[in-house]
Amino acid sequence: MTHDGPSTRPLSLMPALALLGLAVSAGTYAQPPSQPSLAPMIERISPAVVNISVSGSVAVDSPAQDEFFKKFFDFETPPDGRREVEAAGSGVIVDATKGYILTNHHVIENADKITVTLSDNRSLTAKVIGSDKGTDVAVLQVSSADLKSMPLGDSSKLRVGDYVVAIGNPFGFSNTVTSGIVSALGRSGINSQAYEDFIQTDASINPGNSGGALVNLSGELVGINSAILSRSGGNIGIGFAIPVNMVRSIMDQLVTKGSVQRGLLGVRLDDLTPDLAARYGLHDNSGALVNTVTANSAAEKAGIQIDDVIVSVNGTHIRDSGSLKAMIGLLRPGEQVRVGLIRDGREQTVTAVLGELTAAAAAAAAAEEPDQREGFAQLDPTFEGAEILENEQGKGVPGLIVARVVAGSPAFQQGLRQGDVITTINRVPVRTLADAAGAIKGAGSIVLRVRRGNRDQLILMR
C-alpha cells in the first residue's frame, strides 16, 4: 500500500470539496427516492465481523539471521531464541449465544494472546477452540452479551457471476466493505499441501481481510476470505475464500473434538491434460488419474488400480486431483464412499471404507529421500538427470532399468527413482530404448508405468 505525501493529499481533496460546496449552495443536489443500495444488508450483518489482533512469538530461524537483525537493527538476542510478533486479521461471529468466531488458521497461528474488537469498539480476549492448518480454518470463542451473529448460507448454490460482498479489516481499516462477483469456483493448486476448493472473487481483498466474511446479497455467509494472488501484496482482483460448506464441516469437528479427523483413500493422483484425456478415451479432462495405490489402503481393498481415472465420489463430479483430495479430506475415517472410475474405457463404481490420515500415514506419503548419485540419459529432455538402461540379462520384470537419478534433476522432480523398472510408456510395453523412443515420439504427454519394489505406479513425466 502506498500513502500520499503531505503535499499531494490537499490537492486530491480540494476539487471534491469545492464541487460539494457548489452543489449544496445551489440547491441542485437531490438523492434519488429509490436508490438501490447494499446499505440495509450491510448495516444488518456488519456487527458480526470483528477485528482480530494477535500477539505471540516465533523461533528465530537461524543464528545467522539473528546476528543480521542484531547488527543492523540493534536487536538483542532473546534468551529463549524466540522473537515477539504481532499480527491482525478479521473474523466472523457465527454463534452469538456461545460466542463462536470463525477466522483463518494463519491469522491466529503462533498466538499467545488474541484480542477481538467488535464493531462497537468493545475489546474481548478470545480463546482458541480449535484450528486446522489443512483447510486454514480456526474457531475462537469469546464471552460477552449482545453479540450479533451472521447466518450461514449454502456455498453449493453459488454460481459464477453471482454478486458477493467482502467485509473485513484490510490494513487495519475496520469494517471495510467491497463488492464484486464470483469469478470462479473450485479453485485449487495454490498450496499442494492444503485441502482447497476456493471461491475466486474480484471483490477487493487485501492484507487484514483474512478471516473476514464473503457474503451473498441476502446477507448470508458463503465464504471465509483466506488468500489473494498478488505480486505487490495488494489487491489485483484475484482473491480466494473458503466455501462455507467446507468451513461448516471443519467447524463441527473443531467444536466437538478440538481437531479434525480426515478420511484416507490411499492413492496418489495426477491431473488429466487434454492429451491424456484423449489417450484414455475420455470426452474431457475432468477427473484424477491414479498413479499409485498404497498397500493395504482403502483404495486397494476396494479394487482401485493404477491407470484408473476417478471421476466421482458419492455421485459428485470430480474436476481434478485437488477437488478429489478436498472431498476425501472432509470425510471421516470409517465412512463408506462410492468411487466412480473409468478403467480401460469402461465406467464402473467401487465401494471403499476410508482409513484415517494419521501423522504416520502423512509421513509415509511424503516424497522419498533424494538419490545423490549422478548420471543422465538423453531419451527425452524430461528424463534429464536419469540414466536408463536396457535389461540385458533379461532377469526380473521386463522393461527399462533406471540405473541412476541426479537429485533435483528434471527426472527426479518428476518422480523417477533409482531402481525403478519402466514397463510401459504411454501404455505401450517397452523393452529397449528404441521401443521407448517410438512410444514418446510426437506425444504431447509421457506416462510411465514403473515397478518400484513389488508394486506398480504411474509417473506423469510431461
Q: Which three cell numbers stand for residue 330?
A: 472432509
Residue 391 lies in a domain: yes
DSSP string covering 206-270: -TT-TT-EEE-TTS-EEEEEEEE--SSSS--S-EEEEEHHHHHHHHHHHHHHSS---EE--EEEE
Pair 49, 91: CB distance under 8 Å: yes
Q: What one-letter code names the amino acid at 327?
A: M
Whether 247 and 233 share a structural domain = yes
Mean pLDDT value of segment 85-102: 92
Pair 369, 275: CB distance under 8 Å: no
Question: How many other C-beta atoms can be found within 10 angstroms of the C-beta atom of residue 261?
Answer: 13
Least confident residue range of 115-124, 178-187, 230-239 = 230-239
Mean pLDDT value of segment 237-264: 92
Residue 14 lies in a domain: no
Residue 431 lies in a domain: yes
Domain that holds residue 232: 155-257
Residue-wise pLDDT for 262-319, tens only, equals: 899 999 888 888 878 887 888 888 899 998 898 899 999 999 998 899 999 999 898 8
Residue-wise pLDDT for 338-350, tens only, equals: 999 999 889 999 9
DSSP state of 272: P
Would you state the pLDDT for residue 240? 92
Would you state the pLDDT for residue 156? 92
DSSP string covering 73-99: H-PPPPTTSEEEEEEEEEEEEEETTTT
CATH of the domain at 399: 2.30.42.10
Question: Could you say which of 257, 277, 310 is where a domain stops?
Answer: 257
Whether 322 and 346 share a structural domain = yes
- Give catalytic residue positions: 106, 136, 210
Residue-wise pLDDT for 348-374, tens only, equals: 999 999 998 876 665 555 444 333 333
Would you state the pLDDT for residue 445? 80
Residue 18 lies in a domain: no
Whether 129 and 176 share a structural domain = no
pTM of the model: 0.68
Residue 160 lies in a domain: yes
Whether 135 and 104 share a structural domain = yes
Residue-wise pLDDT for 27-44, tens only, equals: 455 555 667 899 999 999
Pair 280, 342: CB distance under 8 Å: yes
Whether 100 and 175 share a structural domain = no
Give the angle subtended at the CA of 148 by the CAs of 109 and 214, to the nearest 5°. 60
Whether 241 and 279 share a structural domain = no
Mean pLDDT value of segment 84-112: 91
- Number of alpha helices (DSSP H) and beta strands (DSSP E) in the chain: 11, 26
Task: Tell me what the pLDDT averaged over the chain comes to.
Answer: 81
CATH of the domain at 89: 2.40.10.10
Residue 211 lies in a domain: yes
Residue-wise pLDDT for 377-417, tens only, equals: 455 777 877 888 877 666 677 888 888 887 777 888 888 88
Mean pLDDT value of segment 322-341: 90
Whether 413 and 336 share a structural domain = no
Whether 129 and 173 share a structural domain = no
> Whole-angstrom Cα distance, residue 413 to residue 417?
10
Domain count, the chain: 4
More confident residue, 327 or 101: 101
Residue-wise pLDDT for 195-217, tens only, equals: 888 999 999 888 888 999 999 99
Would you state the pLDDT for residue 79? 61
Whether 268 and 250 share a structural domain = no
Would you state the pLDDT for residue 453? 83
Q: How many CA atoms lie within 13 A of 64 on its CB side?
A: 0
Whether 230 and 187 share a structural domain = yes
Whether 217 and 159 share a structural domain = yes
> Whole-angstrom Cα distance, residue 457 to residue 398?
15
Question: Could you say which of 257, 275, 304 is where a domain stops?
Answer: 257
Question: How many other C-beta atoms can be found within 10 angstroms of the C-beta atom of residue 125?
Answer: 10
Q: Which helix (H) or strand (E) holds 387?
A: strand 386-390
> Whole-angstrom Cα distance, residue 365 to residue 246?
24
Mean pLDDT value of segment 318-327: 87
Sign of CA dihedral 270, 271, 274, 280: positive
Question: Could you say which of 335, 364, 393 is where a domain stops?
Answer: 364
Residue 420 lies in a domain: yes
Residue 147 lies in a domain: no
Would you state the pLDDT for residue 20? 37
Whether 268 and 249 share a structural domain = no
Mean pLDDT value of segment 237-259: 92
Share of the chain above pLDDT 70, in %: 80
CA 419 to chain centre: 33
